Structure 1
Amino acid sequence: MRHLLCLSLFALVLTGCASSANIGGMTVADTQAQSQTYSPALKENVQVSDVEGGKKTNPMWTSEIDGPDFKAALSDSLDKAGLLSAAGNAPYTLKAKLVRVDQPLFGMDFKVTSDVEYSLVDNASGKEIFREILSTPYTATVSDAFVGVTRLRLANEGSARENIAALLKRLSALNIEAGQVSLKQ
């Protein structure tokens, strides 16, 4: 019994405890967020509703992407892109739902794929302008982090960050003017 307890403690020290994906690790970098051109109608006119889905991390199990943390990273990224409204009643609301986060249980390289459903709604008319599920993979390797739980957290953060970057690219393709919505050519 004593040997089993010692072995368990050694395994815990070697692997560490799981931690949630960090907001900063999920947030798109300034240069990437600002590299897109957006419709003037979206500039500083988007608010983010609560994010559906996501899971709290159990420190004794695996790293997860928490809904409120994903919302914070999404809001920070939209702010860096110049799209987030400072007012409480913005013309457009962005809704997000973490549909699925596909994670490996073990391995050397951890590939995580995040599927997030986004919906952009015109608040004046209630009309949905855009709805799409974006699926983005990200792989964290042993060179990124030797400890597995850290590597999984980095893969979660990378997948979420790439998903938000894909959303920003998709939003830059929207042309919104006087009630007309089209894709930029």
Structure 2
Amino acid sequence: MTVAESQARANTYAPALQENLQLAEVKGGQETNPMWTSEIGGADFQAALQQSLGNAGLLDNSGKAPYSLRANLLRVDQPLFGLDFKVTSEVEYSLIDNATGQEILRETVRTPFTAGVGDAFVAVTRLRLANEGSARENISALLKRLATLNIEAKQVSLSQ
């Protein structure tokens, strides 16, 4: 589920964001039940998000980051059967200025990913690959969105 470092660093982030984010809270997700279907677990999504932020050079490990990111995995739409499994994940992200408590960004990101028979013959494996791909694409879309933020000392704005 983690966005590769080469892909994460392909974006250019405002200097104020570089190594200045902490992952505050990740909610949602559902653990996989081995007797049923593959899911996106909250702990797994949190680990992938944390690693992806690190790969992008945005993560501050000191515990004193000026900005906090919260994520809420709202839903994961999955097919029950088929040859191609298209999974769509929906995550609400909030970026908070820790000094003021001001919410800088709140955005819901929906991303689909399809895994076909060519990716895996076994249906359970295809569904897992589609889940992981959808989560990875969602995190990648967040990173692209963070790259569009203009953060200045006294002004926070979103570029269009």
Shorter-chain TM-score above 0.5: yes
1:13-51: CA deviations, max 9, x gaps? xxxxxxxxxxxxx00011110000001110101001231
Which of 113, 136, 140 is the matching residue for 2:111?
A: 136
- Using the aligned pairs only, state the percent identity: 71
Amino acid at match of 2:83: M
1:62 has 2:37 as partner: yes
1:179 has 2:145 as partner: no
1:71 has 2:55 as partner: no
SS class of match (2:47): helix
1:74-110: CA deviations, max 9, x gaps? 0100101000001112111000000010000000000
Amino acid at match of 2:127: L
Which of 133, 146, 152 is the matching residue for 1:158?
A: 133
Following the alignment from structure 2 to structure 1, what is the Cα–Cα distance between the partners of residues 64 and 153? 19
Which of 25, 28, 40 is the matching residue for 1:53?
A: 28
1:149 has 2:146 as partner: no
Which of 65, 77, 82 is the matching residue for 1:107?
A: 82
Task: Provide the TM-score with structure 2 as the length reference.
Answer: 0.98
Between stretches 173-182 and 107-116, larger displacement belongs to: 173-182
Higher-helix-fraction structure: 1
Higher-strand-fraction structure: 2
Larger radius of gyration: 1
- 1:113, distance to aligned residue in structure 2 (A): 0.2
Runs of 4+ in 1 over 4 A off after TM superposition: none
The RMSD of aligned alpha carbons is 0.8
Task: Provide the TM-score with structure 1 as the length reference.
Answer: 0.85
Q: Is the 8 A contact 1:50 1:68 kept in 2?
A: no
SS class of match (1:129): strand
The 5 A counterparts of 1:32-51 are 32-51=7-26
Number of matched residues?
160
- 1:183, distance to aligned residue in structure 2 (A): 2.5
